[in-house]
């Protein structure tokens, strides 16, 4: 007889019991003397116990019903903290808070002690995390695959205003959220060479021999959706040495030396590459990509083979695979290798399966972010995969390309999977479009530019392959969790259905004119600003007034995002306040959060410049409270959750055509922060939704940027024509801010001598004017609050539930599978 499972109820008493049991039996601690960390771990485990039931049930039902599942392949997942999200989504929040309270523990303190799971850089990684939340919430059968990095994105510190990086040992003490699955360990081959053999029927078969091998150990993290019993998993691979491989070395007596190889093998999943939107190009990065792709595909194929024996032609009806950017694109030749070399399928059949299985999301038009691997490196690490890519390329160029543009060498050059100029490179973006049935952009404007520019020839050849799927964010984390006060106000006003159907937020529209609602909405904003002011005091030692306008720019530091344009305006205002102390200017706090890639010199120079201007402005008695500038160190998901609800103004000021979508823009608008922005990425659609009277749009459009560049852009023209601009740049590059006039020469040179590649000078005056409109608008608080409410009410389109349902319908063709309680 199977004994009854222990009580996993959702009552306060049941939770209390679980937490105490984990303290005693899992952690070996006394309730009386357990540490804060013990309490946090015990609470997570109590929640996890309840979640695992649903995870097992979901997996079993997905398997038994034989439905197609989506496999999301991403090198990055920026999950942030998990406990509060899991509590709110599972409905266990109140009971857990109560249970801990009765034992003398404050849940909020425990929540704030959780380290962020920062296995990503920026937008792309956070999008993957939002998608995982939505997939479970809308009951889609899904598995996320990624790398179990030992070190996530570096921790940032400022020393004398300059960025210093520290390792992020997010799981030095383990993590209660992850579960090892040693029975699903995989072996991966690398390096070696290829030989031709003949199979039993005399057909030629390629064999990859003399390889080095590596093991992949999967760790599963359950993903809890909101008010749904679907619990999907995020499966992250950790690299381990293949012990057998070293056996000979052991026998030669070099036991200790052999363990050095083990350490080398384990470097593969050691650390996340800290670049966002720029290329890496390093051998270890290619090894990381292949390692995680090979483990994931082997896992998908294993699952396809258990239970039933279906012909390979049925593979796509069981498995959809989404490539999150080109980072996992080596999955295309890897699946071909599995099908052709290991399973013996004819090439054309294998190719058809590949195209039906894969789909690809492009996240950028920036040339420096488009992945290209040198053919020499690729051949050394993955010799068989390079052969496969060559064969794909040959069939493509001599087939479809020759048929459409006979004898056109130029077309072949642009469409080829191999770049031939200045050394040979594999073009991962072209491979991704060719090896899949769908390529999507992440905002309407971005998709249009993909079709018109980056992939114009592919679009001419295969127009039906391209589609737009505008990004979204999960409203659970970015409203319910980070702003429970606003979430509660909305729910008491229109009910709680908006949490699963964000379009319903439109029902708030009429309340923008209701003075009582406005007062409550304004008070929530003000309370968050008080809390953020405390954080600013603690982190930066700067006192700011919650009555000032909180102007926020939080995102990775990149020239195209133009934090330096923001800085030009700040320095202009500084001078204006000194020249004209009696001007009627509403006090403002400029708040920055941004990490620079450790090797991105100019980005680091911009951080230093902002911090140096901040130090002067904040300590200048002539400025007083009118202007404060703060750069919060170590920007990350959990810090974003504190800044966003407290923001009044959202800076989305990238050069038009450069920001594929942006998702911070959506989070801020949802929390009632008005956008000052260019017509770039999803800003265009945000304007459409909220109405042009509730957003501050300025600057060159994509078409105007193209035109300006065509006629020859010269930043010096703007410099000489605009005295304020000239004074501003000259002041920044003087010795005023640091005592050393050399310090910000790199920034000055980029703006002038190096041609201002992101057109800061062209957009300077329109930006300064837009900021003046913001200042005027903020003075009418009643109207400002009304605009803020309308932003919250009208951004329902940007729920990642909507995005994910579009993927499911248009790309993956997935059924929703409801798991009952």
Of residues 660 and 787, the one with the C-beta less far from ligand Z57:
660
Nearest approach, Cβ of 535 to ligand Z57 (angstroms)? 25
Of residues 127 and 508, the one with the C-beta less far from ligand Z57:
127
Q: Tell me which of 127, 153, 286, 594 binds ligand Z57, using CB under 6 A.
A: 127
Of residues 373 and 574, the one with the C-beta less far from ligand Z57:
373
Nearest approach, Cβ of 269 to ligand Z57 (angstroms)? 19
Separation CA 495–CA 22 (nearest Å): 37
Of residues 100 and 124, the one with the C-beta less far from ligand Z57:
124
Give the sign of the dihedral formed by CA 86, CA 91, CA 94, CA 95. Answer: negative
Window of 25-33, 449-457, 659-667, 743-751 that interacts with ligand Z57 by CB under 6 A: 659-667
Nearest approach, Cβ of 482 to ligand Z57 (angstroms)? 18
Of residues 194 and 284, the one with the C-beta less far from ligand Z57:
284
Residue for token pair 């000239």: 726
Q: DSSP labels for 186-231? A: EEEEES-EEEEEE-TTS-EEEEEES-EEEEEEEEEEEEEPTT---E
Nearest approach, Cβ of 608 to ligand Z57 (angstroms)? 23
Nearest approach, Cβ of 370 to ligand Z57 (angstroms)? 8
Window of 537-545, 654-662, 687-695, 733-741 that interacts with ligand Z57 by CB under 6 A: 654-662
Q: Tell me which of 43, 661, 671, 750 binds ligand Z57, using CB under 6 A.
A: 661
| Phi, psi (degrees; rounded to nearest 5) at 322 | -100, 125
Of residues 277 and 483, the one with the C-beta less far from ligand Z57:
277
Nearest approach, Cβ of 663 to ligand Z57 (angstroms)? 5
Catalytic hit among 385, 555, 636, 658? 555
Q: Tell me which of 163, 447, 663, 738 binds ligand Z57, using CB under 6 A.
A: 663
| Phi, psi (degrees; rounded to nearest 5) at 153 | -60, 135
Q: Is 549 in contact with 778 (CB distance < 8 Å)?
A: yes
Strands 193-198 and 204-209: antiparallel
**What residues between 320 and 379 interact with ligand Z57 by CB under 6 A?**
325, 363-364, 369
Q: Is 372 in contact with 279 (CB distance < 8 Å)?
A: yes
Whose CA is closest to 18, among 91, 95, 89?
95
Of residues 38 and 276, the one with the C-beta less far from ligand Z57:
276
Q: Is 686 helix (H, G, I), strand (E, B) or coil?
A: helix
Nearest approach, Cβ of 325 to ligand Z57 (angstroms)? 6
Q: Tell me which of 119, 389, 660, 759 binds ligand Z57, using CB under 6 A.
A: 660
Nearest approach, Cβ of 550 to ligand Z57 (angstroms)? 23
Of residues 62 and 667, the one with the C-beta less far from ligand Z57:
667
Q: Is 240 in contact with 217 (CB distance < 8 Å)?
A: yes
Of residues 373 and 778, the one with the C-beta less far from ligand Z57:
373
**What residues between 428 and 457 interact with ligand Z57 by CB under 6 A?**
442
465 is catalytic: no
Catalytic hit among 384, 446, 556, 797? 556
The contact mask relative to ligand Z57 for 375-414 (x = CB under 6 A, - = no) is ----------------------------------------
Nearest approach, Cβ of 660 to ligand Z57 (angstroms)? 4
Nearest approach, Cβ of 791 to ligand Z57 (angstroms)? 19
Nearest approach, Cβ of 622 to ligand Z57 (angstroms)? 39
Q: Is 631 in contact with 592 (CB distance < 8 Å)?
A: yes
Of residues 340 and 597, the one with the C-beta less far from ligand Z57:
597
Give the sign of the dihedral formed by CA 514, CA 516, CA 519, CA 521. Answer: negative
Window of 55-63, 300-308, 460-468, 653-661 that interacts with ligand Z57 by CB under 6 A: 653-661
Nearest approach, Cβ of 79 to ligand Z57 (angstroms)? 15
561 is catalytic: yes
Window of 178-186, 264-272, 655-663, 735-743 that interacts with ligand Z57 by CB under 6 A: 655-663
663 is catalytic: yes
Whose CA is closest to 366, among 124, 593, 157, 200?
124
Window of 115-123, 224-232, 338-346, 569-577 that interacts with ligand Z57 by CB under 6 A: 115-123
Residue for token pair 């899992």: 26
| Phi, psi (degrees; rounded to nearest 5) at 194 | -115, 135
- Please give the structure tokens belonging to residue 37: 């960390």
Q: Assess 681 for contact with ligand Z57 (CB under 6 A).
A: yes
Q: Tell me which of 84, 114, 220, 276 binds ligand Z57, using CB under 6 A.
A: 276
Q: DSSP labels for 647-673? A: -SEEEE-PPTTT-S--SHHHHHHHTT-
Residues in the chain: 821
Q: Assess 683 for contact with ligand Z57 (CB under 6 A).
A: no
Of residues 142 and 617, the one with the C-beta less far from ligand Z57:
142
Of residues 273 and 574, the one with the C-beta less far from ligand Z57:
273
Number of Cβ within 10 Å of residue 546's Cβ equals 17
Total number of residues that touch ligand Z57 (CB under 6 A): 19
667 is catalytic: yes
The contact mask relative to ligand Z57 for 622-651 (x = CB under 6 A, - = no) is ------------------------------
Q: Tell me which of 84, 641, 659, 689 binds ligand Z57, using CB under 6 A.
A: 659
Catalytic hit among 363, 385, 476, 748? 363
Strands 186-190 and 425-427: unpaired
**What residues between 461 and 500 interact with ligand Z57 by CB under 6 A?**
471
Q: Is 283 in contact with 290 (CB distance < 8 Å)?
A: no
486 Cβ neighbours under 8 A, 6+ residues apart: 479, 521, 524, 645, 671, 672, 792
Separation CA 295–CA 305 (nearest Å): 15
HEC-encoded secondary structure of 530-565:
HHHHHHHHHHHCCCCCCCCEEEEEECCCCHHHCHHH
Kindly report the CA angle at 474 between 73 and 435, in degrees rounded to 5? 25
Long-range contacts of 199-207 (CB under 8 A, 24+ apart): 199/344, 203/344, 205/341, 205/344, 206/340, 206/341, 206/384, 206/387, 207/341
Catalytic hit among 81, 465, 558, 667? 667
Window of 116-124, 398-406, 449-457, 756-764 that interacts with ligand Z57 by CB under 6 A: 116-124
Residue for token pair 């920034």: 747
Q: Which residues pair with 678 in a beta bridge?
A: none
Residue nearest to ligand Z57 (CB): 123
Number of Cβ within 10 Å of residue 775's Cβ equals 16
Whose CA is closest to 494, among 792, 226, 85, 693?
792
736 Cβ neighbours under 8 A, 6+ residues apart: 616
Q: Tell me which of 80, 118, 123, 699 binds ligand Z57, using CB under 6 A.
A: 123
Nearest approach, Cβ of 597 to ligand Z57 (angstroms)? 11
DSSP 8-state class, residue 325: S
Q: Assess 277 for contact with ligand Z57 (CB under 6 A).
A: yes
E-assigned strands of 391-537?
418-419, 425-427, 439-441, 466-468
Separation CA 467–CA 652 (nearest Å): 24
Window of 107-115, 123-131, 168-176, 497-505 that interacts with ligand Z57 by CB under 6 A: 123-131
Region for 419 from its dihedrals, namely left if φ exceeds 0, alpha if ψ lies in -120 to 50, beta otherwise:
beta
Catalytic hit among 22, 437, 561, 636? 561
Window of 56-64, 204-212, 597-605, 658-666 that interacts with ligand Z57 by CB under 6 A: 658-666
Of residues 121 and 655, the one with the C-beta less far from ligand Z57:
121
By annotation, the residues acting in catalysis are: 363, 555-556, 561, 663, 667
Tell me which residues touch ligand Z57 (CB under 6 A). 121-124, 127, 276-277, 325, 363-364, 369, 442, 471, 659-663, 681
């Amino acid at each position: 007889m199977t004994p009854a499972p222990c009580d996993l109820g959702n009552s306060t008493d049941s939770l209390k019991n679980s937490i105490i049991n984990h303290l005693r039996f899992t952690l070996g601690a006394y309730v009386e003397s357990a540490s804060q960390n013990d309490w946090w771990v015990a609470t997570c485990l109590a929640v996890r116990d309840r979640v695992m039931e649903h995870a097992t049930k979901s997996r079993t039902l997905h398997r038994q019903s034989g439905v197609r599942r989506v496999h999301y392949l991403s090198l990055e997942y920026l999950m942030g903290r998990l406990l509060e999200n899991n509590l709110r989504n599972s409905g266990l929040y109140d009971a857990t808070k109560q249970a801990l309270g009765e034992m003398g523990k404050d849940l909020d303190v425990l929540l704030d002690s959780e380290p962020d799971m920062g296995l990503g850089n920026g937008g792309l990684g956070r999008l993957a995390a939002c998608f995982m939340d939505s997939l479970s919430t809308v009951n889609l059968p899904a598995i996320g695959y990624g790398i179990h990095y030992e070190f996530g994105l570096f921790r940032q510190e400022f020393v004398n205003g300059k960025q210093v990086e520290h390792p992020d040992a997010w799981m030095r003490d383990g993590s209660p959220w992850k579960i090892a699955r040693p029975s699903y360990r995989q072996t991966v081959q690398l390096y070696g060479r290829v030989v031709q053999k003949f199979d039993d029927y005399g057909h030629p078969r390629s064999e990859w021999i003399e390889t080095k091998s590596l093991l992949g150990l999967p760790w599963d993290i359950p993903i809890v959706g909101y008010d749904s019993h679907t619990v999907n998993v995020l499966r992250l691979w950790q690299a381990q040495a293949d012990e057998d491989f070293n056996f000979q070395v052991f026998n030669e007596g070099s036991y200790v030396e052999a363990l050095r190889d083990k350490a080398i093998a384990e470097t593969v999943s050691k650390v996340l590459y800290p670049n966002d939107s720029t290329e890496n190009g390093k051998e270890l990065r290619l090894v990381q990509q292949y390692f995680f792709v090979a483990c994931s595909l082997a896992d998908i194929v294993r699952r396809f083979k258990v239970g039933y024996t279906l012909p390979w032609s049925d593979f796509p009806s069981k498995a959809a695979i989404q490539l999150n950017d080109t980072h996992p694109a080596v999955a295309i030749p890897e699946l071909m290798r599995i099908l052709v070399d290991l399973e013996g399928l004819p090439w054309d059949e294998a190719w058809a399966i590949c195209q039906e299985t894969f789909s690809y999301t492009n996240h950028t038009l920036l040339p420096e972010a488009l992945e290209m691997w040198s053919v020499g490196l690729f051949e050394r690490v993955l010799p068989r995969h390079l052969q496969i890519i060559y064969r794909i390329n040959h069939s493509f160029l001599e087939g479809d390309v020759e048929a459409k543009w006979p004898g056109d060498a130029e077309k072949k050059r642009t469409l080829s999977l191999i770049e031939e100029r200045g050394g040979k490179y594999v073009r991962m973006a072209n491979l991704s479009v060719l090896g899949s049935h769908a390529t999507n952009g992440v905002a309407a404007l971005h998709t249009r530019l993909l079709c018109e520019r980056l992939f114009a020839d592919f679009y001419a050849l295969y127009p039906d392959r391209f589609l737009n799927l505008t990004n979204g964010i999960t409203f659970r984390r970015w409203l319910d969790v980070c702003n429970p006060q606003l979430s509660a106000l909305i729910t008491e006003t229109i009910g709680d259905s908006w949490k699963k159907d964000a379009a319903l937020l439109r029902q708030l529209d009429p309340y923008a004119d209701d003075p009582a609602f406005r007062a409550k909405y304004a008070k929530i904003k003000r309370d968050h600003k008080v809390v953020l002011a405390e954080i600013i005091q603690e982190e930066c030692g700067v006192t700011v007034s919650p009555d000032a306008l909180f102007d926020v720019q939080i995102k990775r530091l990149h020239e195209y995002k133009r934090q330096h344009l923001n800085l030009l305006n700040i320095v202009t205002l500084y001078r204006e306040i000194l020249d004209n102390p009696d001007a009627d200017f509403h006090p403002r706090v400029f708040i920055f959060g941004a990490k620079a890639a450790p090797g991105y010199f100019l980005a680091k120079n911009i951080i230093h410049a902002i911090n140096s201007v901040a130090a002067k402005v904040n300590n200048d008695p002539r400025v007083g409270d009118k202007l404060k500038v703060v750069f919060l160190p170590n920007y990350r998901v959990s810090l974003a959750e504190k800044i966003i609800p407290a923001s009044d103004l959202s800076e989305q000021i990238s050069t038009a055509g450069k920001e594929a979508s942006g998702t911070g823009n959506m989070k801020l608008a949802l929390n009632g922060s008005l956008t000052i922005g260019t017509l770039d990425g999803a800003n265009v659609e945000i304007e459409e939704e909220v109405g042009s009277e509730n957003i501050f749009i300025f600057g060159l459009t994509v078409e105007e940027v193209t035109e300006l560049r065509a006629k020859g852009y010269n930043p010096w023209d703007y410099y000489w024509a605009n005295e304020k601009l000239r004074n501003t740049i000259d002041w920044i590059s003087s010795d005023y801010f640091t005592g050393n006039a050399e310090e910000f020469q790199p920034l000055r040179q980029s703006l002038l001598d190096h041609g201002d590649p992101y057109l800061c000078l062209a957009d300077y005056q329109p930006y300064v004017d837009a900021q003046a409109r913001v200042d005027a608008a903020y003075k009418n608080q009643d109207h400002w609050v009304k605009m803020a409410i309308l932003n919250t009410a009208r951004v329902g389109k940007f729920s990642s539930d909507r995005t994910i349902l579009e993927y499911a319908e248009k790309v993956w063709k997935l059924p929703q599978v409801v798991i009952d309680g």
